[in-house]
Amino acid sequence: MNEGQEKSYVLFPMGEKRFALPAEVVAELARPDHLQTFPHRTPLLAGVLVRRGRIVPVCDVAQVLLGPNAPPRKFFLIAKCQAGERQDWTAVPVTGECELANLEPAHPVDGAPAYVTGSVTAGAENVVVVDLEKLISMEAPR
């Protein structure tokens, strides 16, 4: 069922598929940057980036969306994530250029993963809209 009102989405590629985030949560698309790592025990976190003086965690959600054989990530999509009462930036590695589009949202199909909040249609392509916080909280498949 369509909700009847267009909204802005950032469509980001992960391999041969694309996924969407509401545009209001996206801060910027960054070129490949110097990923820095240090020991930690949080699944999916690949390290941190330094952007405009901020330390931004990098969450490799491709492992959840595509599995361990995801193609190399080329850019970082930096999004605002709600963390308690605060909004933190989180970088998501993506495999190519992103697209900003005004699209009409639809409800997710039955049985969709918990991180899917809806879907949009871009041309002939059906793109699922993801909730980044829920996606980040997922465990990577082993």
Which of the residues 86 through 105 are near another protein (CB under 8 A)? 86, 88, 90
Using CB under 8 A, which of the segments 40-48, 71-79, 94-102, 106-114 binds another protein? 40-48
Q: Should residue 40 be labelled a site residue for another protein when binding is judged by CB under 8 A?
A: yes
The 8-class DSSP code of residue 85 comes to T
Angstrom distance (rounded) from CA 137 to CA 36 = 21
Q: CA 108, 112, 115: angle at the middle one, nearest 5?
A: 85
Q: Should residue 55 be labelled a site residue for another protein when binding is judged by CB under 8 A?
A: yes
Candidate list 4, 5, 16, 42; residue touching another protein; CB under 8 A? 42
Distances 82 to 44, 51, 85, 117 between C-alpha atoms, Å: 17, 18, 7, 16
CB nearer another protein, residue 35 or residue 106 = 35
Which of the residues 6 through 35 are near another protein (CB under 8 A)? 34
The two three-digit tokens of residue 53, written as one number? 């003086």
Q: Should residue 77 be labelled a site residue for another protein when binding is judged by CB under 8 A?
A: no
Strands ordered across the beta sheet of 99-103: 99-103, 7-14, 17-22, 125-130, 116-122, 105-106
Using CB under 8 A, which of the segments 18-26, 77-85, 107-115, 117-125 binds another protein? 77-85
Residues that bind another protein (CB under 8 A): 34, 36-42, 45, 48, 50, 55-57, 59, 81, 83-84, 86, 88, 90, 136
